[in-house]
Amino acid sequence: IVTVPTVSADILDGNIGYLRITQFTQSTAQQTRKELLIFLEEGVKGIVLDLRDNPGGIVDTTLSVADMFLSDETIVHIRGKHADHDQTLRSSKETLVPTEMPLVTLVNKGSASASEILAGALQDNNRSPLIGSQTFGKGLIQIVSPFGDGYYTLTTSQYKTPSGAEIHTVGIPVDIEVDDIYIDEDEMEAYQEFTNSGVVEEFVAQHPGFSFENVQLFLDTVVGEDPPFDEEVYKILVRREYLNEIPYEERPIADVEFDPVLKRAIIFINEGS
């Protein structure tokens, strides 16, 4: 059986644990537990849980991960079409991560379904603030069954956060809004033209070795004044090309300097707000 990694982790400068979950599969809880135990052994002072662009997955796995952070708290309400089908799922009293350990959770519009269950549980139980942007809003339980030559989808129930808030079509609002860096639709043509031009690769070949000085030199000599899209995008493009020159296993898991959402999370852990 091949296990696809869905969890990556690192200890950032300042002794802060960074844990990214890309999807909830059967092995995700085990992978998460392993990394959290390393954090605890190393004595990290706080943890950043990154659920950005996590489309969801197996709900039971999500419940297991929530149980690592929450002690005897409601994780999610399941509301059926009939009241006798309603359920409230709670965490156990035992928890892997001490409840006093600072925790910050990162989400965005790509965080959906099972990842929203986890984010909502951590937020509503005051275990973790959410930083980033509002989540996608997918909170239905559906059964797909064959019908004739095709299939039909039957909605049986929906998820609600511990406070009873809707998830579906609404999403979960964040406590601290920090936008990811995106390309607007009207900038896309200029972006594609620039990335296909080869100038980034040429610059990195002529100036090997990543440094902030090289990034600034790239902005000054290649990008110039009044660029067609956000300067931060150019920084990310040249940084990404430098990373491509590094063997995959040696690349950093997280890149604080070029990730404004992660940067804000670290400030929160260090300063408490």
CATH number at residue 32: 3.90.226.10
Query: If pLDDT is split at 50, 70 and 90, which confidence band does 182 have?
Result: confident
Are 96 and 205 found together in one domain? no
CA distances from 39 to 9, 34, 44, 88 (A): 9, 9, 6, 30
133-143 average pLDDT score: 88
| pLDDT for position 95 | 96
Are 226 and 198 found together in one domain? yes
Are 145 and 161 found together in one domain? yes
Single residue among 180, 214, 230 that ends a domain in this structure:
180
- Sheet strand arrangement including 140-147: 87-90, 74-80, 150-160, 140-147
Are 59 and 152 found together in one domain? yes
- Provide the mean pLDDT of the chain: 92
Query: If pLDDT is split at 50, 70 and 90, which confidence band does 230 have?
Result: confident
Query: Looking at the annotation, which residues are catalytic?
Result: 113, 124, 138
Domain contains 100: yes
Name the 3-class secondary structure at 96: coil
Domain contains 256: no
Residues 255 and 258: their CA atoms lie apart, in Å, by 6
Domain contains 155: yes
Domain contains 268: no
Are 190 and 153 found together in one domain? no
Are 130 and 196 found together in one domain? no
Domain contains 203: yes
Domain contains 41: yes
* Residue 1 confidence (pLDDT) above 70: no
Single residue among 126, 161, 180 that ends a domain in this structure:
180
Domain contains 26: yes
- The C-alpha angle with vertex 14 and arms to 174 and 259, in degrees rounded to 5, equals 45
Are 83 and 124 found together in one domain? yes
pTM of model > 0.85: yes
| pLDDT for position 153 | 66
Cβ proximity of 170 and 160 under 8 Å: no
Are 110 and 209 found together in one domain? no
Task: List, for residues 252-270, the tens digit of each pLDDT value.
Answer: 899 898 899 999 999 999 9
> What backbone phi and psi angles, to 5 degrees, belong to 47?
-130, 135
Are 23 and 133 found together in one domain? yes
CA 81 to chain centre: 31
Are 191 and 170 found together in one domain? no
Domain contains 54: yes
**What dihedral angle (degrees, nearest 10) is formed by the CA atoms of 157, 160, 162, 164?**
-110
Are 157 and 225 found together in one domain? no
Single residue among 180, 200, 235 that ends a domain in this structure:
180
Residues 67 and 127: their CA atoms lie apart, in Å, by 12
Number of domains, the chain? 2
* Residue 39 confidence (pLDDT) above 80: yes
- Cβ partners under 8 Å of residue 194, min gap 6: 200, 228, 237
Are 28 and 153 found together in one domain? yes
**Containing structural domain, residue 225:** 185-250
Residues 65 and 209: their CA atoms lie apart, in Å, by 38
